[in-house]
Copies of this chain bind each other. A is one copy, B any other.
Amino acid sequence: MGGTPPLSPLAPAAFPDLPEIGGVEFATAEAGVKYKNRTDVMLAKLAPGTAVAGVFTRSATRSAPVLDCQDKIGGDVAGGAAIIVNSGNSNAFTGKNGRESVSRITAATAQALGIEEARVFSSSTGVIGEPLPHDRITAKLDELAGKLDRGGIAAAARAIMTTDTYPKGASAEVEIDGQTVKIAGIAKGSGMIAPDMATMLVYIFTDAAIERSVLQSMVSANSDLTFNCITVDSDTSTSDTLLCAATGASGVRVTEANTGFIDALRDVMLDLAHQVVRDGEGATKFVQIHVGGAKSDADARTHAMSIANSPLVKTAIAGEDPNWGRIVMAVGKSGAAADRDLLSIWFGDNLVADKGWRAESYSEEACAAHMKGENIDIRVDLGLGGGTATVWTCDLTHGYISINADYRS
Protein backbone atom coordinates (compact mmCIF):
# COMPACT_ATOMS: atom_id res chain seq x y z
CA MET A 1 0.00 0.00 0.00
CA GLY A 2 3.11 2.18 0.09
CA GLY A 3 3.50 3.23 -3.52
CA THR A 4 0.79 4.58 -5.78
CA PRO A 5 -0.73 1.71 -7.77
CA PRO A 6 -1.04 2.23 -11.53
CA LEU A 7 -4.29 3.78 -12.74
CA SER A 8 -6.98 1.18 -13.48
CA PRO A 9 -7.32 0.62 -17.25
CA LEU A 10 -11.07 0.91 -16.66
CA ALA A 11 -10.83 4.38 -15.04
CA PRO A 12 -13.00 7.20 -16.40
CA ALA A 13 -11.20 9.88 -18.42
CA ALA A 14 -11.53 12.46 -15.67
CA PHE A 15 -13.24 13.17 -12.37
CA PRO A 16 -16.69 14.56 -13.24
CA ASP A 17 -17.65 18.20 -12.75
CA LEU A 18 -19.88 17.91 -9.67
CA PRO A 19 -22.40 20.65 -8.80
CA GLU A 20 -22.21 22.49 -5.51
CA ILE A 21 -25.01 21.41 -3.15
CA GLY A 22 -26.56 24.18 -1.06
CA GLY A 23 -26.05 23.51 2.63
CA VAL A 24 -22.89 21.39 2.24
CA GLU A 25 -19.29 22.53 2.67
CA PHE A 26 -16.12 20.43 2.51
CA ALA A 27 -12.59 20.63 3.86
CA THR A 28 -9.63 18.22 3.74
CA ALA A 29 -6.34 17.99 5.60
CA GLU A 30 -3.11 15.99 5.83
CA ALA A 31 -3.34 14.39 9.27
CA GLY A 32 -0.71 11.71 8.65
CA VAL A 33 -2.90 8.90 10.09
CA LYS A 34 -0.89 6.48 7.95
CA TYR A 35 -0.18 8.01 4.56
CA LYS A 36 2.37 10.79 4.06
CA ASN A 37 2.18 13.74 1.68
CA ARG A 38 -1.48 13.35 0.84
CA THR A 39 -4.80 14.36 2.36
CA ASP A 40 -6.34 11.67 4.57
CA VAL A 41 -9.16 13.45 6.40
CA MET A 42 -12.28 15.01 4.96
CA LEU A 43 -14.95 17.01 6.78
CA ALA A 44 -18.41 17.74 5.37
CA LYS A 45 -20.46 20.33 7.25
CA LEU A 46 -24.22 20.03 6.79
CA ALA A 47 -26.70 22.86 7.32
CA PRO A 48 -29.22 22.75 10.20
CA GLY A 49 -32.22 20.58 9.37
CA THR A 50 -30.30 18.26 7.05
CA ALA A 51 -31.83 14.75 7.05
CA VAL A 52 -29.19 12.01 7.09
CA ALA A 53 -29.94 8.42 6.05
CA GLY A 54 -27.48 5.53 6.02
CA VAL A 55 -26.91 1.89 5.14
CA PHE A 56 -24.06 -0.08 6.65
CA THR A 57 -22.18 -3.36 6.45
CA ARG A 58 -23.87 -6.38 8.06
CA SER A 59 -20.49 -7.78 9.07
CA ALA A 60 -20.49 -9.27 12.58
CA THR A 61 -17.08 -7.64 13.10
CA ARG A 62 -18.05 -4.16 11.94
CA SER A 63 -15.95 -1.21 12.91
CA ALA A 64 -16.41 1.19 15.81
CA PRO A 65 -17.42 4.15 13.58
CA VAL A 66 -20.04 1.98 11.82
CA LEU A 67 -21.56 1.02 15.17
CA ASP A 68 -21.55 4.69 16.23
CA CYS A 69 -23.24 5.80 12.98
CA GLN A 70 -25.90 3.12 13.40
CA ASP A 71 -26.63 4.44 16.90
CA LYS A 72 -27.03 8.00 15.63
CA ILE A 73 -28.75 7.57 12.28
CA GLY A 74 -32.37 7.79 13.45
CA GLY A 75 -31.94 10.87 15.61
CA ASP A 76 -33.47 14.35 15.53
CA VAL A 77 -32.51 16.44 12.48
CA ALA A 78 -32.94 19.92 13.94
CA GLY A 79 -29.39 21.18 14.36
CA GLY A 80 -26.38 21.29 12.08
CA ALA A 81 -24.60 18.04 11.27
CA ALA A 82 -21.25 16.80 9.98
CA ILE A 83 -19.49 13.84 8.40
CA ILE A 84 -15.82 13.27 9.27
CA VAL A 85 -13.82 10.57 7.48
CA ASN A 86 -10.24 9.39 7.63
CA SER A 87 -8.34 6.99 5.37
CA GLY A 88 -5.35 4.81 6.33
CA ASN A 89 -6.87 3.10 9.38
CA SER A 90 -10.33 1.52 9.62
CA ASN A 91 -10.59 1.58 13.44
CA ALA A 92 -12.03 -1.95 13.13
CA PHE A 93 -11.33 -4.72 15.68
CA THR A 94 -9.93 -2.14 18.06
CA GLY A 95 -12.18 -2.94 21.03
CA LYS A 96 -12.85 -0.36 23.71
CA ASN A 97 -10.06 1.85 22.36
CA GLY A 98 -11.92 1.99 19.07
CA ARG A 99 -15.05 3.36 20.71
CA GLU A 100 -12.91 5.90 22.58
CA SER A 101 -11.32 7.05 19.30
CA VAL A 102 -14.72 7.58 17.69
CA SER A 103 -15.93 9.52 20.71
CA ARG A 104 -12.85 11.78 20.71
CA ILE A 105 -13.17 12.51 17.00
CA THR A 106 -16.91 13.19 16.98
CA ALA A 107 -16.68 15.33 20.15
CA ALA A 108 -13.87 17.43 18.71
CA THR A 109 -15.78 17.83 15.44
CA ALA A 110 -18.91 18.91 17.32
CA GLN A 111 -16.93 21.47 19.28
CA ALA A 112 -15.12 22.87 16.24
CA LEU A 113 -18.42 23.36 14.37
CA GLY A 114 -20.65 24.27 17.32
CA ILE A 115 -23.05 21.37 16.77
CA GLU A 116 -24.33 18.39 18.79
CA GLU A 117 -22.04 15.33 18.96
CA ALA A 118 -25.10 13.19 18.23
CA ARG A 119 -25.17 14.80 14.77
CA VAL A 120 -21.55 13.96 13.87
CA PHE A 121 -21.18 10.85 11.72
CA SER A 122 -17.70 9.37 11.29
CA SER A 123 -16.08 6.76 9.07
CA SER A 124 -12.62 5.26 8.99
CA THR A 125 -11.12 3.13 6.21
CA GLY A 126 -7.79 1.36 5.91
CA VAL A 127 -5.94 -1.32 7.84
CA ILE A 128 -7.92 -3.47 10.32
CA GLY A 129 -6.81 -4.07 13.92
CA GLU A 130 -4.39 -1.18 14.41
CA PRO A 131 -5.12 1.44 17.10
CA LEU A 132 -6.34 4.65 15.40
CA PRO A 133 -4.13 7.63 16.29
CA HIS A 134 -7.21 9.82 16.74
CA ASP A 135 -5.21 12.73 18.16
CA ARG A 136 -3.69 13.30 14.72
CA ILE A 137 -7.25 13.85 13.44
CA THR A 138 -8.55 15.95 16.34
CA ALA A 139 -5.45 18.17 16.03
CA LYS A 140 -6.62 19.12 12.53
CA LEU A 141 -10.23 20.06 13.32
CA ASP A 142 -9.74 23.79 13.77
CA GLU A 143 -7.79 23.89 10.51
CA LEU A 144 -10.60 21.94 8.79
CA ALA A 145 -13.33 24.15 10.24
CA GLY A 146 -11.47 27.22 9.04
CA LYS A 147 -11.31 26.24 5.39
CA LEU A 148 -14.75 24.83 4.66
CA ASP A 149 -15.66 25.34 1.02
CA ARG A 150 -18.81 24.57 -0.99
CA GLY A 151 -16.62 23.61 -3.97
CA GLY A 152 -14.48 21.14 -2.07
CA ILE A 153 -16.16 17.83 -3.03
CA ALA A 154 -13.46 16.72 -5.51
CA ALA A 155 -10.77 17.17 -2.87
CA ALA A 156 -12.97 15.24 -0.43
CA ALA A 157 -13.20 12.34 -2.90
CA ARG A 158 -9.40 12.18 -2.99
CA ALA A 159 -8.92 12.32 0.78
CA ILE A 160 -10.96 9.13 1.39
CA MET A 161 -9.05 6.91 -1.10
CA THR A 162 -7.02 3.89 0.08
CA THR A 163 -6.04 1.36 -2.63
CA ASP A 164 -8.29 3.23 -5.08
CA THR A 165 -6.48 4.30 -8.23
CA TYR A 166 -8.86 7.18 -8.95
CA PRO A 167 -11.40 9.31 -7.01
CA LYS A 168 -15.05 8.51 -7.69
CA GLY A 169 -17.86 11.00 -8.15
CA ALA A 170 -21.27 11.24 -9.82
CA SER A 171 -24.15 13.72 -9.95
CA ALA A 172 -27.65 14.34 -11.26
CA GLU A 173 -30.15 17.16 -11.51
CA VAL A 174 -33.91 16.62 -11.35
CA GLU A 175 -36.72 19.02 -12.30
CA ILE A 176 -39.57 18.96 -9.79
CA ASP A 177 -42.51 21.29 -10.38
CA GLY A 178 -40.34 23.60 -12.47
CA GLN A 179 -37.58 23.77 -9.86
CA THR A 180 -34.22 21.99 -9.90
CA VAL A 181 -32.79 19.79 -7.18
CA LYS A 182 -29.22 18.55 -7.31
CA ILE A 183 -27.56 15.33 -6.18
CA ALA A 184 -23.80 14.83 -5.90
CA GLY A 185 -21.96 11.83 -4.45
CA ILE A 186 -18.49 10.48 -3.88
CA ALA A 187 -17.24 6.95 -3.09
CA LYS A 188 -14.13 4.97 -2.35
CA GLY A 189 -13.48 1.25 -2.73
CA SER A 190 -11.26 -1.10 -4.67
CA GLY A 191 -10.69 -4.35 -2.73
CA MET A 192 -12.65 -6.18 0.00
CA ILE A 193 -15.69 -5.37 -2.09
CA ALA A 194 -18.77 -7.54 -1.68
CA PRO A 195 -21.20 -5.20 0.00
CA ASP A 196 -24.06 -6.78 1.88
CA MET A 197 -26.99 -4.45 2.52
CA ALA A 198 -24.58 -1.57 2.29
CA THR A 199 -21.51 -0.47 0.41
CA MET A 200 -18.01 0.89 0.66
CA LEU A 201 -17.62 4.47 1.83
CA VAL A 202 -20.16 6.50 -0.09
CA TYR A 203 -21.38 10.03 0.64
CA ILE A 204 -24.25 11.52 -1.31
CA PHE A 205 -25.60 15.03 -0.91
CA THR A 206 -28.77 16.66 -2.22
CA ASP A 207 -30.36 20.04 -1.72
CA ALA A 208 -33.84 18.49 -1.83
CA ALA A 209 -35.94 18.72 1.31
CA ILE A 210 -36.80 15.13 2.30
CA GLU A 211 -38.13 13.72 5.53
CA ARG A 212 -35.51 11.50 7.17
CA SER A 213 -37.57 8.29 7.12
CA VAL A 214 -38.50 8.85 3.47
CA LEU A 215 -34.87 9.45 2.56
CA GLN A 216 -33.91 6.26 4.39
CA SER A 217 -36.46 4.22 2.41
CA MET A 218 -35.21 5.65 -0.89
CA VAL A 219 -31.57 4.96 -0.04
CA SER A 220 -32.21 1.42 1.25
CA ALA A 221 -34.28 0.41 -1.77
CA ASN A 222 -31.79 1.88 -4.22
CA SER A 223 -28.84 0.20 -2.42
CA ASP A 224 -30.35 -3.21 -3.14
CA LEU A 225 -30.23 -2.44 -6.88
CA THR A 226 -26.82 -0.77 -6.95
CA PHE A 227 -24.14 -1.24 -4.30
CA ASN A 228 -25.57 -4.58 -3.17
CA CYS A 229 -25.20 -5.84 -6.76
CA ILE A 230 -21.46 -5.42 -7.08
CA THR A 231 -18.57 -7.63 -6.05
CA VAL A 232 -14.84 -7.41 -6.64
CA ASP A 233 -13.53 -10.30 -4.56
CA SER A 234 -16.44 -11.68 -2.49
CA ASP A 235 -14.84 -10.28 0.68
CA THR A 236 -17.12 -8.02 2.72
CA SER A 237 -15.56 -5.04 4.46
CA THR A 238 -15.90 -4.30 8.17
CA SER A 239 -16.45 -0.62 7.38
CA ASP A 240 -18.97 -0.35 4.53
CA THR A 241 -20.93 2.86 5.00
CA LEU A 242 -23.27 4.91 2.82
CA LEU A 243 -24.52 8.22 4.15
CA CYS A 244 -26.99 10.35 2.21
CA ALA A 245 -27.64 13.93 3.37
CA ALA A 246 -30.60 16.02 2.20
CA THR A 247 -30.07 19.64 3.18
CA GLY A 248 -33.32 21.12 1.86
CA ALA A 249 -31.41 24.19 0.63
CA SER A 250 -33.27 24.12 -2.70
CA GLY A 251 -36.55 24.61 -0.88
CA VAL A 252 -38.03 21.83 -3.00
CA ARG A 253 -39.91 19.18 -1.03
CA VAL A 254 -39.43 15.60 -2.29
CA THR A 255 -41.63 12.67 -1.23
CA GLU A 256 -42.05 8.98 -2.09
CA ALA A 257 -44.17 10.09 -5.03
CA ASN A 258 -41.22 11.78 -6.81
CA THR A 259 -40.09 8.77 -8.82
CA GLY A 260 -37.99 11.07 -10.99
CA PHE A 261 -35.89 11.95 -7.94
CA ILE A 262 -35.66 8.32 -6.80
CA ASP A 263 -34.50 7.28 -10.27
CA ALA A 264 -31.92 10.08 -10.38
CA LEU A 265 -30.63 9.11 -6.94
CA ARG A 266 -30.37 5.49 -8.13
CA ASP A 267 -28.49 6.60 -11.26
CA VAL A 268 -25.93 8.42 -9.08
CA MET A 269 -25.60 5.37 -6.81
CA LEU A 270 -25.24 2.97 -9.77
CA ASP A 271 -22.65 5.23 -11.39
CA LEU A 272 -20.59 5.25 -8.17
CA ALA A 273 -21.04 1.47 -7.73
CA HIS A 274 -19.79 0.85 -11.28
CA GLN A 275 -16.82 3.15 -10.63
CA VAL A 276 -15.93 1.00 -7.60
CA VAL A 277 -15.99 -2.16 -9.77
CA ARG A 278 -13.95 -0.42 -12.49
CA ASP A 279 -11.33 0.31 -9.84
CA GLY A 280 -11.41 -3.30 -8.58
CA GLU A 281 -7.94 -4.46 -7.58
CA GLY A 282 -6.20 -5.72 -10.71
CA ALA A 283 -9.32 -5.32 -12.88
CA THR A 284 -8.95 -5.27 -16.67
CA LYS A 285 -12.56 -6.13 -17.62
CA PHE A 286 -15.92 -4.73 -16.48
CA VAL A 287 -18.40 -7.59 -16.35
CA GLN A 288 -22.20 -7.41 -16.31
CA ILE A 289 -24.02 -10.62 -15.39
CA HIS A 290 -27.75 -10.83 -16.01
CA VAL A 291 -29.71 -13.85 -14.86
CA GLY A 292 -33.32 -14.30 -15.99
CA GLY A 293 -35.90 -17.07 -15.94
CA ALA A 294 -35.21 -17.87 -12.27
CA LYS A 295 -37.83 -19.09 -9.83
CA SER A 296 -37.53 -15.77 -7.95
CA ASP A 297 -35.49 -12.58 -7.98
CA ALA A 298 -33.62 -13.89 -4.92
CA ASP A 299 -32.68 -17.09 -6.77
CA ALA A 300 -31.55 -15.05 -9.76
CA ARG A 301 -29.32 -12.96 -7.50
CA THR A 302 -27.85 -16.08 -5.86
CA HIS A 303 -26.93 -17.50 -9.28
CA ALA A 304 -25.59 -14.15 -10.53
CA MET A 305 -23.40 -13.68 -7.44
CA SER A 306 -22.18 -17.29 -7.66
CA ILE A 307 -21.01 -16.55 -11.22
CA ALA A 308 -19.59 -13.13 -10.27
CA ASN A 309 -17.61 -14.53 -7.33
CA SER A 310 -16.30 -17.70 -8.98
CA PRO A 311 -12.49 -17.57 -9.25
CA LEU A 312 -12.65 -19.88 -12.27
CA VAL A 313 -15.15 -17.64 -14.10
CA LYS A 314 -13.15 -14.52 -13.22
CA THR A 315 -9.83 -15.99 -14.34
CA ALA A 316 -11.41 -17.24 -17.59
CA ILE A 317 -12.56 -13.66 -18.29
CA ALA A 318 -9.06 -12.38 -17.48
CA GLY A 319 -7.74 -14.89 -20.04
CA GLU A 320 -10.34 -13.77 -22.62
CA ASP A 321 -11.52 -17.37 -22.68
CA PRO A 322 -15.24 -17.94 -23.48
CA ASN A 323 -15.21 -20.88 -21.08
CA TRP A 324 -18.96 -21.23 -20.63
CA GLY A 325 -18.54 -24.57 -18.83
CA ARG A 326 -17.43 -22.54 -15.82
CA ILE A 327 -20.72 -20.59 -15.94
CA VAL A 328 -22.54 -23.95 -15.84
CA MET A 329 -20.41 -24.95 -12.85
CA ALA A 330 -21.15 -21.69 -11.01
CA VAL A 331 -24.91 -22.05 -11.58
CA GLY A 332 -24.73 -25.66 -10.44
CA LYS A 333 -22.96 -24.88 -7.17
CA SER A 334 -25.00 -21.81 -6.18
CA GLY A 335 -27.62 -23.70 -4.22
CA ALA A 336 -30.54 -21.93 -5.95
CA ALA A 337 -32.93 -23.82 -8.20
CA ALA A 338 -31.62 -24.75 -11.66
CA ASP A 339 -32.40 -27.41 -14.26
CA ARG A 340 -29.43 -28.30 -16.39
CA ASP A 341 -31.62 -29.14 -19.38
CA LEU A 342 -33.39 -25.74 -19.41
CA LEU A 343 -30.25 -23.63 -18.97
CA SER A 344 -29.14 -21.22 -21.71
CA ILE A 345 -26.10 -18.92 -21.71
CA TRP A 346 -25.01 -15.98 -23.88
CA PHE A 347 -21.66 -14.16 -24.13
CA GLY A 348 -22.64 -10.77 -25.56
CA ASP A 349 -25.16 -11.58 -28.31
CA ASN A 350 -23.74 -15.05 -28.83
CA LEU A 351 -25.87 -17.97 -27.64
CA VAL A 352 -23.33 -20.52 -26.37
CA ALA A 353 -25.45 -22.98 -24.41
CA ASP A 354 -29.01 -23.76 -25.45
CA LYS A 355 -31.21 -25.67 -23.01
CA GLY A 356 -28.58 -27.93 -21.55
CA TRP A 357 -26.39 -28.42 -24.60
CA ARG A 358 -23.82 -26.48 -26.61
CA ALA A 359 -25.76 -24.24 -29.01
CA GLU A 360 -26.00 -25.34 -32.66
CA SER A 361 -24.94 -21.83 -33.65
CA TYR A 362 -21.98 -21.74 -31.24
CA SER A 363 -19.00 -19.93 -32.68
CA GLU A 364 -15.77 -20.00 -30.68
CA GLU A 365 -14.48 -17.12 -32.81
CA ALA A 366 -17.46 -14.82 -32.18
CA CYS A 367 -17.34 -15.49 -28.44
CA ALA A 368 -13.58 -15.01 -28.29
CA ALA A 369 -14.02 -11.66 -30.05
CA HIS A 370 -16.54 -10.55 -27.39
CA MET A 371 -14.16 -11.62 -24.61
CA LYS A 372 -11.42 -9.39 -26.04
CA GLY A 373 -13.50 -6.29 -25.32
CA GLU A 374 -13.31 -4.23 -22.13
CA ASN A 375 -17.00 -4.73 -21.30
CA ILE A 376 -18.12 -8.34 -20.95
CA ASP A 377 -21.82 -9.24 -20.94
CA ILE A 378 -22.85 -12.62 -19.62
CA ARG A 379 -26.53 -13.57 -19.77
CA VAL A 380 -28.09 -16.68 -18.29
CA ASP A 381 -31.66 -17.90 -18.71
CA LEU A 382 -32.78 -20.63 -16.31
CA GLY A 383 -36.09 -21.32 -18.03
CA LEU A 384 -37.86 -21.78 -14.70
CA GLY A 385 -39.80 -18.58 -13.98
CA GLY A 386 -39.77 -14.79 -13.99
CA GLY A 387 -37.01 -13.98 -11.50
CA THR A 388 -34.23 -11.65 -12.69
CA ALA A 389 -31.10 -10.00 -11.33
CA THR A 390 -28.20 -8.00 -12.72
CA VAL A 391 -24.85 -7.76 -10.95
CA TRP A 392 -21.49 -6.31 -11.86
CA THR A 393 -17.96 -7.51 -11.22
CA CYS A 394 -14.46 -7.47 -12.68
CA ASP A 395 -11.97 -10.13 -13.69
CA LEU A 396 -9.36 -11.83 -11.43
CA THR A 397 -5.83 -11.16 -12.63
CA HIS A 398 -2.19 -11.28 -11.65
CA GLY A 399 -2.73 -7.64 -10.60
CA TYR A 400 -5.05 -8.73 -7.75
CA ILE A 401 -2.46 -11.22 -6.50
CA SER A 402 0.30 -8.62 -6.75
CA ILE A 403 -1.66 -6.01 -4.79
CA ASN A 404 -2.68 -8.45 -2.06
CA ALA A 405 0.19 -10.95 -1.85
CA ASP A 406 3.38 -9.51 -3.25
CA TYR A 407 3.65 -6.65 -0.77
CA ARG A 408 3.49 -6.95 3.01
CA SER A 409 0.81 -4.63 4.29
- Residues of A that sit less than 8 Å from B by CB: 57, 59-62, 92-97, 127-131, 191-192, 194, 196, 233-238, 309-312, 315-316, 318-321, 323-326, 328-334, 337-341, 343, 353, 355-358, 395-398, 400-402, 404-409
Q: List 20 A-B pairs, Cβ < 8 Å.
A: A59-B332, A60-B333, A60-B334, A60-B340, A61-B331, A92-B328, A93-B358, A128-B329, A234-B309, A235-B312, A235-B333, A236-B332, A237-B329, A238-B328, A319-B405, A321-B405, A323-B409, A397-B401, A398-B405, A401-B401
State the number of copies, please: 2
Q: Which of B130, B315, B321, B329 contacts A59 (CB 8 A)?
A: B329
Take A233-B312, A401-B398 as given contacts and tell me if A61 and B409 are in contact as well, using a CB distance cutoff of 8 Å: no
Do residues A194 and B398 form an inter-chain contact, with CB atoms below 8 A?
A: no
Residue numbers in B under 8 Å from A357 (CB-CB): 93-97
Q: Nearest chain-B residue to A341 (Cβ)?
A: B95
A93 partner, pick from B57, B61, B325, B409, beta carbons under 8 A: B325
The docked-state distance in angstroms from the alpha carbon of A196 to that of B319 is: 27
Question: Is there contact, CB below 8 Å, between A333 and B194?
Answer: yes
A238 partner residues in chain B, CB cutoff 8 A: 328-329, 332
Most chain B beta-carbon neighbours within 10 Å: one of A238, A309, A329, A402: A329
A319 and B353 contact, CB distance less than 8 A: no
Complex Cα distance, B409 from A314, in Å, reads 14
Bound-state CA distance A333–B397 (Å) is 23
Query: In the complex the two chains form, is A316's CB within 8 Å of B404's CB?
Result: yes
Q: Of B95, B341, B396, B398, which one neighbours A356 at CB under 8 angstroms?
A: B95
Give the CA-CA distance A400 to B191 in the complex, in Å.
19
In the complex, which of the residues B92, B233, B408 contacts A325, with contact meaning CB atoms closer than 8 Å?
A: B92
By a CB distance below 8 angstroms, the chain B residues around A355 are 95
Q: Which of A234, A315, A332 has the most CB of B within 10 A?
A: A332
**What 8 new A-B contacts, CB under 8 Å, besides A311-B311, A321-B409?**
A59-B333, A61-B329, A92-B325, A93-B340, A238-B332, A395-B405, A400-B401, A401-B401
Given contacts A319-B405, A340-B93, A405-B315, contact A329 B397 (CB under 8 A): no
Residue of B nearest to A232 (CB): B311
Q: Are A407 and B319 in contact (CB under 8 A)?
A: yes
Q: Within the complex, what minimum Cβ distance (angstroms) separates A346 from chain B? A: 14
- Which B residue sits closest to A340, measured CB to CB? B61
Chain B min CB distance to A366 (Å): 15
Inter-chain CA distance A389–B334, complex, in Å, is 22
Q: Which residues of B contact A62 (CB under 8 A)?
A: 332, 340
**Contact B318–A93 (Cβ < 8 Å):** no
Closest chain B CB from A351 CB (angstroms):
13
Q: How far is the CB of A303 from chain B (nearest CB, A)?
A: 10
Taken together as a complex, chains A and B put the C-alpha atoms of A97 and B61 apart, in Å, by 50
Contact (Cβ within 8 A) A129 B325 = yes
Query: In the complex, what's the smallest C-beta–C-beta distance from A362 to chain B, in angstroms?
Result: 9
**CA distance in complex: A234, B194 (Å):** 16
User: How far is it, in angstroms, between the C-alpha of A189 and the C-alpha of B149 when the chains are bound?
Assistant: 60
A334, B128: Cα distance in complex, Å = 17
A341 vs B333: C-alpha distance in the bound complex, in angstroms? 34
Nearest chain B CB to A216 CB, angstrom units? 24
The residues of B that contact A310 with a CB separation of less than 8 Å are 234-235
